[in-house]
């Protein structure tokens, strides 16, 4: 980009930035009975980013208070989340920074033992757009190795920390052979990623801030960030998102964090949401990896 301002870019330059990573074909079968596993009307994907201490560590914030906030996610929230998912028979995806896995070597295997997916979420919740290609590749490769050694399974999916997708991220994903990514927002349904106009075969399972607990419920003691919504109000947003996805025969994907959703009043709304979802008999609940494998037949 040099010293030029965006308004000074040539058409080739601004088009190049826009077209570098784009949404390709939607990976949704035209036949409703084949759209989602088991002929379901709607696919539900629950995910938890088990970040724990790493967002603070990434920023060099090492006070005992900040470490305790992260420890809460693993110590208090995760066991209760696993119990809740078991009661609702809801296999889910846990995206985990490798540093968190190294801090508690039993955590990732525990997710797998409970029937859930473990997927890559960076090394220390780094910001990918601050990294060059080689550093990003090295960190993701190292993270893959940690999770594979601990669980005995090579993760097939990745979610970039903070959904921070650099100009090199898709190349890294392809070099390391990931089946799917879940970091981008170009659609409400799964799609194939394009790189510079070419097909990649990589499945994108899109996310959205509307379906993430952090914007509604995060707290920063010394900043201006304050929870601005009661949990019961958030429950209604997520119920409406699910109901609309079911009406359209689509995907309802949700991103949560143990240290955020895992407080008592918030776990109650997750319990209520899952009860609402389970009140229908045309729902499939599965992992991101399961859905990616299903929709790859459309490539």
> How many structural domains is the chain composed of?
1
Supply the range of the domain harboring residue 139. Answer: 22-298
* CA separation for the pair 158, 140 (Å, rounded): 9
Rounded to 5°, the CA angle 180-294-91 comes to 80
Q: Is it the case that residue 1 has pLDDT exceeding 60?
A: no
At residue 164, φ and ψ (nearest 5 deg) are: -90, 105
31-79 tens-digit pLDDT: 999 999 999 999 999 999 999 999 999 999 999 999 999 999 999 999 9
Residue 8 lies in a domain: no
Residue 7 lies in a domain: no
Residue 263 lies in a domain: yes
231-266 tens-digit pLDDT: 999 999 999 999 999 999 999 999 999 999 999 999
Residue 5 lies in a domain: no
Instruction: For the chain, give the mean pLDDT.
Output: 96
* Crossing angle (nearest 10°) for helices 231-248 and 264-278: 20
Taking CA atoms, 274 is separated from 88, 208, 286, in Å, by 7, 19, 13
Hey, what's the torsion of the CAs at 287, 291, 294, 299, to 10 degrees?
A: -140
Strands 191-195 and 21-26, how do they pair?
A: antiparallel
Q: What is the pLDDT of residue 221?
A: 75
- Looking at per-residue pLDDT, the higher value among 156 and 2 belongs to 156
Helices assigned H by DSSP within the chain? 11-19, 32-35, 54-58, 64-72, 78-87, 98-103, 107-113, 133-151, 169-175, 214-217, 231-248, 258-261, 264-278, 288-295
Q: Three-class SS of residue 254?
A: strand
Name the DSSP class of 210.
G
Q: What is the pLDDT of residue 58?
A: 96
The model carries a pTM of: 0.96
Residue 3 lies in a domain: no
Tell me if 133 sits within 8 A of 168, measured CB to CB: yes
- In this structure, what CATH number is given to the domain that contains residue 33? 3.20.20.370
Q: What is the pLDDT of residue 2?
A: 58
Residue 125 lies in a domain: yes
143-178 tens-digit pLDDT: 999 999 999 999 999 999 999 999 999 999 999 999
Residue 290 lies in a domain: yes
Residue 13 lies in a domain: no
pLDDT category of residue 223 using cuts at 50, 70 and 90: confident
């Amino acid at each position: 980009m040099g010293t030029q301002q965006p308004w000074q870019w040539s058409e080739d330059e601004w088009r190049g930035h826009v077209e570098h990573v784009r949404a390709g074909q939607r990976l949704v079968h035209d036949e409703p009975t084949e759209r989602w596993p088991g002929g379901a009307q709607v696919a539900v994907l629950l995910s938890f980013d088990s970040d724990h201490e790493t967002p603070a560590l990434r920023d060099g914030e090492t006070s005992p208070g900040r470490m305790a906030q992260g420890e809460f996610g693993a110590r208090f929230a995760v066991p209760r989340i696993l119990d809740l998912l078991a009661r609702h028979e809801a296999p889910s995806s846990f995206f985990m920074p490798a540093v968190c896995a190294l801090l508690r070597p039993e955590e990732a295997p525990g997710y797998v033992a409970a029937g859930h997916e473990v997927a890559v979420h960076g090394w220390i919740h780094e910001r990918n757009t601050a990294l060059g290609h080689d550093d990003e590749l090295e960190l993701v490769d190292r993270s893959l190795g940690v999770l594979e050694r601990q669980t005995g399974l090579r993760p097939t999916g990745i979610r970039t920390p903070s959904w921070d997708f650099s100009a090199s991220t898709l190349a890294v994903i392809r070099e390391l052979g990931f089946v799917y990514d879940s970091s981008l927002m170009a659609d409400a349904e799964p799609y194939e990623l394009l790189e510079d106009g070419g097909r990649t075969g990589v499945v994108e399972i899109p996310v959205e801030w509307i379906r993430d607990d952090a914007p509604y419920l995060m707290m920063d003691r010394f900043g201006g960030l304050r929870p601005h919504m009661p949990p019961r109000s958030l429950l209604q947003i997520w119920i409406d998102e699910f109901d609309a996805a079911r009406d359209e025969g689509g995907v309802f994907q949700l991103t949560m964090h143990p240290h955020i959703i895992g407080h008592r009043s918030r776990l109650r709304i997750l319990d209520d949401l899952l009860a609402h979802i389970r009140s229908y008999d045309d729902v499939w609940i599965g992992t991101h990896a399961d859905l990616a494998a299903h929709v790859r037949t459309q490539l």
